[in-house]
Structure 1
């Protein structure tokens, strides 16, 4: 318990208590003497009264003292509490002031370092304050701004600008806060350029709630606006560029929604770019399988992270037409979202494909043309390397175009290696060069070819085309024509000789007949002349008979008749120009041919047809044939002579020929069958080729059977065939179409 001590603070109340007692006593004394005069000698206070006064005075003093002591204690306690409170408040104030100073310092540092500035407006909406950052950031002197309203600083008089400022002023007049209001100043910066500003503000009110103006922040967005403008211009240029690209350019997310599309893409779907963007390709594409295929390709690119090239794919446009596209798809990350999408470029190659197909068709057409040519065509470059071969050249070389391409033509065609100088000369002179009748050996056979070298000088192309024309047939035909001319000359000579022979032959026949008539005993005139001269006609005939004169005369007459028949056959065979189709006696025609063959004895060929046995096997029911008699005689005679020569050359014992005729359902059959050496398979394959012969050089031209084949197949529309085996003879079959009247 605290010890009560008389504190100096208590002396005041005690002194005041004592003073009050004295005043009270003095007052009592004064009251005892109403007149107010004090007569010291006469006063005799009442002791009891006095004691009472003193008692009450002491009580009062004691009460006052106690009250003073209590008040002093309470006051001291309050003072101590207040002191502690004041100290606490003082400390807090110091802390607040320190925090305020630190906050002000931080605010100052932030505002000085920040890209914003502080501004204030009065209740008239005119600028009253701009922080130092305003000039640092904008380059606009504050004195050009202070005292002016914001709209007085702005520029731009478009309808959109006017509407923007109207709404802003309404907002200010309603004392409402605003954020991010952007405008362009008409006041230039240190470079004289207007600035783009963006401000935010709040209304300010005083303690009585009276509107005092606005306070807020501002930032310079000039560089941002320039960057956005540049970006917009760049995007516009990019948009213009991709819209000018005639190919489809697009971007899609993994769900098939278009993130980007150029005009060509939109037009392919019959939409605008705005209508196509954010639209799903599943709705856009006409065919479900196309949509699934394209989405599958997109997902493959997105998930693999690798680009994909699609050489050809079908795309159905909005008209329902199928287009052929060549597409490249590349994965990329969408800006801001970080999601993988696909960027694609599709080129419509429908026209190119059709053109390519047309080019391929034309190439094939031209190749078919050059392949159908009988000539050998070899395309070479200026250095003699092969660029093209036709089918004939492939057959001759045994190599395909692809295999021979790029090889020196002299390596592929060794027999033409000497033509390289002609190739160079043709290219140098720009004129074709011809080498006629060049000798070539093909499959061990001698051939002739005309070689033409044509220079290529069109459209900047350089090189040459070597053309080989096989003129073997022409050379041989020319030889045949020479031979034919000789034969015609011989035929004419034979005809002339036949005519000349006919005259003496007629005289011989006539003379022999007249001799037999003049010695005949049954003629009266002969007997009369004999009697007149004294000759016994019977005895003369006996003499002539015994001496064989009659036999000689019969032989002369018979030989003359045979000679006349031979001459008639020769004349008939030599008149080819007079031949024509008609009904002929088949047996008579065959017998005529046999007589002609029998009369042919050529020591050079060393065979005699008369030594060959002829077996006739004629169909008795087949007597007439519709044909060109002269030409069929030539065919059969050629077959007979070939058979006779083959059997004679090989020394066939007992040579024989069967001449057979038969009627088939649709043809007349004439067969010439021999028992000679026969032929092998290789000879059979080429037996009817022009100029093919197995005879020795100079023994034949190789044209007999080819001409016979031509006469039967081309002139008579029939068939000429052969069957043979080595050592088993040969069978030649002539089938001529049946004609009305050819049957008996």
Structure 2
């Protein structure tokens, strides 16, 4: 036994009587002889607030039953301690839970228990506890063995599948969203090369002409003004744009400039009108007007393409940032987070799943403060709730995300306009492996995982209110709480 569990010099090694043991729910059905044996084998130990009762990975030498106080269980995940449970109920237990399996399974603590307050435990050595269970309940041991090994195998297989499906969905969604801006940037880059070649060609034609220095300087100034116009041009309606193109096309035809229809669309997009073209004609004269106008149009088109490339790259960067925000890469498991940022990152990652017939409505409270939370796991909650809402609506309806303050809690709500959850189903929706989806489409773990993340890890609550045409999942999270130890 390690020094943490087996210091013989402790002065607190008093024992519980059989009657006191019977008051613990775990032992209430044992007979007098069995209680007498446990009372003889066990002892009472006190632990100070903040102390480690047992540590993950150490040999599982003792079975602990809480008599008073409060404890937290945590597991080590990629170098970080992740809290999985808090409890203060008399009789909760932990430690060498699998001692009944003996040497068929390596007996090590699978998590770490810390005393949050000064706590008192009834402690049984693992060997005595395992022997007692095997001797007194042989049939139960056989059932537990089958359940242990079966669940371990099942959890391994389904867990791997769940992770692969989640990774595949995330990758597919991200790839789908990245494809459009990437393709737009590629097209704009290709077109930009052509416009630059055209600019050089038209400028060469102008330089070979009869423009003197002052007129050439004036043309360059007009080109700069055209580029400035392009960056600030307002978006016209389809009808206004068509009328403007007709007017510019007529002006180009009157001045014998070929390709007027194609050139007119670029001029309109750049905010150029006939009055501005008249100023170009006055600056260069009719002889050099055609190459000058084309040179300026290439300049405008080049600027518009640059803006398009910049916009596409910004969208790609934004999607990558959303993916990092969603997965919480390079961030501590627990941190101060903005709930709206998490919701928006989740929506971005799920955009490919949102059918054209679904309207997304956001009703965010802008005054909500940041909260201390496990960001990546809350994103898993939003993902489960949003995906379920989309599934319920079948491609048509309204998805509503709403946040508000409710006393000392933050409420984040996901609503849909689907058919609702039948009353007979509602009490079971948070049960593990319970699903109303067809076989193969759902594992029944999404809401169970969401419940454990919200309730066990964040000490909040998750509730559902449903009627035909309106279903709300409400997640309540503490606005301020202590960091788990």
Task: Give the TM-score, by structure 2 length.
Answer: 0.46
Task: Give the TM-score, by structure 1 length.
Answer: 0.31
Q: Highest Rg: 1 or 2?
A: 1
